[in-house]
């Protein structure tokens, strides 16, 4: 599938575990919040959620990390620069220097890198380290990760409003990779909170992938019930295993056979 020729408006994307994804579009490979598994699978391949960087050597690769936590950033990724000639690494802290490293310094950032458009909202004040939500538009598709912006409580904080206003001003969104890290019920299970619902409502993506510790059936059902309660229209898809692949075409997502 990595070799497939894709058209404008089409993407194949692989869930890589936790908050990690790789996205292939017509001319680009995008990697988001990938970390090498602690216990690498016996067969180190994409269909097991493992990226062998040398297999990406022929592609235009952009690697993103929303923040410098071990479940979103793998320092091993810096080694990819040695084996992938066309790679850029986009971060909100100077993990390294060099022409391949792009640092998101501003609260609102918009980078145009030839045909790649990156919009990000970076928050430095409310967390102990900077956090960036990232929207990528390329080859006729758009993907957005909300970082770990989910927050507890019954109000939508101003920084979330500012962020979502900015992101929604850029046009329609295909895929929302929604980290649900804010709300935990009495049984210790995550569910959709107001901030998550606000994000879905305002961005109105075609498909939402709830992730970041949403594993059990009961958690998933809770998320769906909440989505219904908030009257959210987007389709929700839950991932089952690292390496699972999906196909996006004309705004419709289908799971690919393993």
What residues make contact with Zn ion under the rule CB under 5 A? 71, 148
> Whole-number minimum distance, CB 199 to Zn ion, in Å?
15
Q: Which two tokens stand for residue 31?
A: 């990697």
Q: Which two tokens stand for residue 226?
A: 């909440």
Structure tokens at 155: 């109000």
The nearest distance, CB 187 to Zn ion, in angstroms, is 20
Closest to Zn ion by CB, 71 or 189: 71
CB of 115 to Zn ion, least distance (A): 30
Q: How far apart are the C-alpha atoms of 185 and 116, rounded to whole Å? A: 39
Helix axes 217-229, 194-203, angle to 10 degrees: 60
* CB closest to Zn ion, residue no: 148
Q: Please give the DSSP secondary-structure letter assigned to residue 35.
A: -
Q: Shortest distance, CB of residue 204 to Zn ion, whole angstroms?
A: 24
Residue 228 to residues 149, 196, 222, 232, 254, Cα–Cα distance (Å): 21, 13, 10, 6, 22
Token pair for 193: 């909170």
Least CB distance to Zn ion at residue 188 (A): 16
Given a contact cutoff of 8 angstroms between Cβ atoms, the answer to whether 84 and 61 are in contact is yes
């Amino acid at each position: 599938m990595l070799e497939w020729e894709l058209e404008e408006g089409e993407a194949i994307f692989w869930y890589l575990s936790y908050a990690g994804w790789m996205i292939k579009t017509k001319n680009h490979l995008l990697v988001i919040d990938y970390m090498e598994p602690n216990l690498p699978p016996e067969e180190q391949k994409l269909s097991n959620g493992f990226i062998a960087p040398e297999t990406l050597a022929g592609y235009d690769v952009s690697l993103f990390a929303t923040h410098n936590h071990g479940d979103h950033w793998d320092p091993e990724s810096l080694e990819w620069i040695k084996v992938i000639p066309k790679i850029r690494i986009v971060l909100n802290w100077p993990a390294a220097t060099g022409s391949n490293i792009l640092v998101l310094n501003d609260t609102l950032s918009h980078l145009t890198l030839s045909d790649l458009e990156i919009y990000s909202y970076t928050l430095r004040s409310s967390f102990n380290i900077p956090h960036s939500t990232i929207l990528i538009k390329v080859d006729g598709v758009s993907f957005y990760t909300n970082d770990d912006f989910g927050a507890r409580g019954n109000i939508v904080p101003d920084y979330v409003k500012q962020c979502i206003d900015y992101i929604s001003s850029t046009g329609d969104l295909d895929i929302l990779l929604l980290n649900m890290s804010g709300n935990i019920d009495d049984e210790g299970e995550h569910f959709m909170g107001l901030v998550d619902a606000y994000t879905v409502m305002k961005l109105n993506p075609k498909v939402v992938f709830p992730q970041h510790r949403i594993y059990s059936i009961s958690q998933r059902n809770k998320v769906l019930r909440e989505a219904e309660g908030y009257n959210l229209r987007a389709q929700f898809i839950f991932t089952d295993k690292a390496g699972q692949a999906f196909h996006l075409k004309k705004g419709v997502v289908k799971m690919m056979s393993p």
